[in-house]
Amino acid sequence: MNKGCWKFDEEDKALYIDLEEEDAEEGKTYSSWDQTPDILLEEIFSYLTIRERYYASLVCRAWYRAFKLRNVWSTFTLEDTTLTRGKFNYYSGWQYVLDHMRTSTCLNKVGRNFRTLIFEPMLNFYNLYEFMNMISWYAERQGSDNTSVAGVGTYIRRLKFTFPCNMANRDFPDRIRLFGTGGKLLEALKRLMRNLQNLRCLELIDLMLDNKEALHLMDDICTNCTQTLSKLVLINTTRYNCPLLHVGVFVNLNVLVISPQNLHEDIIELIGYTKLQHLHILQNRYSAKDTTIRLPKRSSWVKMRAHNPHLKVHFEVESHNSTDILLPIDLLEHSAIPCHSIILDNSKIQISPSTILTHGAFFDSTIRVYAFKGITKYYMNRSFATRLDEALVQFCKMCPQLHTLMIRDKISTATILEIVSTAKRLRCLYVRRNVVLKRCDRNLSRILDWSPEHHEWVKVNSRSYENTEREVSKILRYRWHMLSEREFKDQAINMHI
């Protein structure tokens, strides 16, 4: 009698099968995912959440071993539900509370592999406070007792902390009501920064501190990382005008991102004695909109350029409100700024031709990146008189160092051809295909006084998108194409060129 057993089919009906039939499948070939090299498994696991990594580790022994590889845990991101358990409260229902046992196990097993520590905006401040204190406790103990291990926090090179300053209107982001951090949460953050003594990159975003608290925020970082810190991001450290002199202490700082309300003449002069190469002056949706906030005076920029002639200044604006103040620049006062790039990411504000020409006139010798990001949310007229075609072409003529240009407004194919033929050093041009008009405007040819040969070349190749893309590709020396809406929205701009 043949050996057999019972099995259930898809309809939960019992079937009796012979084991000899199962033996017939022994010759079946299976995939070789269990033989994937460690370097590929590390890359795959690094894209997974902690829960997904755990499930993947149950597949086979090779994947279980890959679960604990170093690069898998090089970046650790803490969110509201990370390392938490459900707890029921009668007055608020189920809540996610940090599981200390699970967190302790995680730090003991893989905590020494952390290289980047990221704190996303969280609503549960208790979980955030407890986790920062646990990391600090492990970093202070360093395996001196039976409950901790050595190495936690020692190899962390990057710390990013973002405070949810608009949490009161989280469901309605356009209604801004700002709150700043402080108290015990700020003490936990300062304790954590004090114990991370090998930081290379520190990012503190939207803390919105009081001026008194901000003055001593960076004391411990200045003590431990004066010569090691290479990138510092201080976005909206305070809500109001408050100079942060600590940024001039880091002698090997390479990149500094700071908001306008935290700059001062003394800071600019101190920067001149450092090795800083890129100064990003960033204004986001939560930055101060007070008209009294201004950049440091011209004399400080002149002194800074004399001591650090290689410094490049980048202006960035990220906002969603059409009434926001864009750039706190008095062009006559700040024409001495070595402006390398201007990035505007506000889809509700239409830039005027006079603004473009003014930027070109004052920053003509230094500007290399000029970009208008985002998908427009305002009406764009098709007539040549209301478009930016002429202003953009004149801007390209005034700025011989222009390398990158991003245009979101409506322009013609003839304007694209004229831009690439005018800007000799242009290498990156980004335009939206949906707003490009297939036409050769007569007004443009009269204003620019084209030769008959050049006019014929523009006229023939502006009749179709394909001809325009072909001619632009020849000039830029790579296969260029107009971008779709998604491609344009997700396009990243390299400002460090």
Of 268, 392, 406, which is closest to residue 334 (Cα–Cα)?
268
pLDDT attached to residue 366: 93
pLDDT bracket for residue 327 (50, 70, 90): low
- Tell me the H-state helices in 142-182: none
What are the chain's domains? Answer: 32-69 (1.20.1280)
Burial class (CB in 10 A: 0-12, 13-18, 19+), 420: buried
pLDDT bracket for residue 376 (50, 70, 90): confident
Q: According to the per-residue pLDDT averaged within each range, which of 169-173, 174-178, 442-446 is highest? A: 442-446
pLDDT bracket for residue 476 (50, 70, 90): very high
Burial class (CB in 10 A: 0-12, 13-18, 19+), 421: middle
pLDDT attached to residue 234: 94
Mean pLDDT of 129-140: 92
Q: CB–CB of 393/458 below 8 Å?
A: no
pLDDT attached to residue 168: 53
187-217 pLDDT per residue, tens: 999 999 999 989 999 999 988 888 888 888 9
Of 210, 261, 256, which is closest to residue 233 (Cα–Cα)?
256
215, two tokens: 């003055």
**Helices 413-422 and 465-476: angle between axes, nearest 10 degrees:** 10
310, two tokens: 């290689």
- Which residues lie closer than 8 Å to 380 by C-beta, 6 or more apart? 350, 387, 409, 410, 435
397-441 pLDDT per residue, tens: 999 999 999 999 999 999 999 999 999 999 999 999 999 999 988
User: What's the whole-model pTM score?
Assistant: 0.86
Q: Is the pLDDT of residue 454 over 80?
A: yes
Q: Is the pLDDT of residue 1 over 50?
A: no
pLDDT bracket for residue 392 (50, 70, 90): very high
Give the least confident one: 145-159, 321-335, 352-366.
321-335
196, two tokens: 């991370």
pLDDT attached to residue 28: 64
Give the least confident one: 4-8, 140-144, 402-406.
4-8
pLDDT attached to residue 174: 52
Of 431, 282, 277, 423, which is closest to residue 343 (Cα–Cα)?
282
- Tell me the H-state helices in 202-352: 211-214, 219-224, 265-271, 298-307
Amino acid at 76: F
pLDDT attached to residue 435: 93
pLDDT attached to residue 415: 94
Q: CA 187 to CA 378: how far, in whole Å?
A: 45
Mean pLDDT of 352-365: 90
Mean pLDDT of 8-29: 57
Mean pLDDT of the chain: 86
Mean pLDDT of 105-121: 91
Percent of the chain with pLDDT over 70: 88
Q: CA 251 to CA 264: how far, in whole Å?
A: 18
96-107 pLDDT per residue, tens: 889 899 899 889
pLDDT bracket for residue 326 (50, 70, 90): low
pLDDT attached to residue 323: 55
- Tell me the H-state helices in 342-388: 353-362
Q: Is the pLDDT of residue 254 over 90?
A: yes
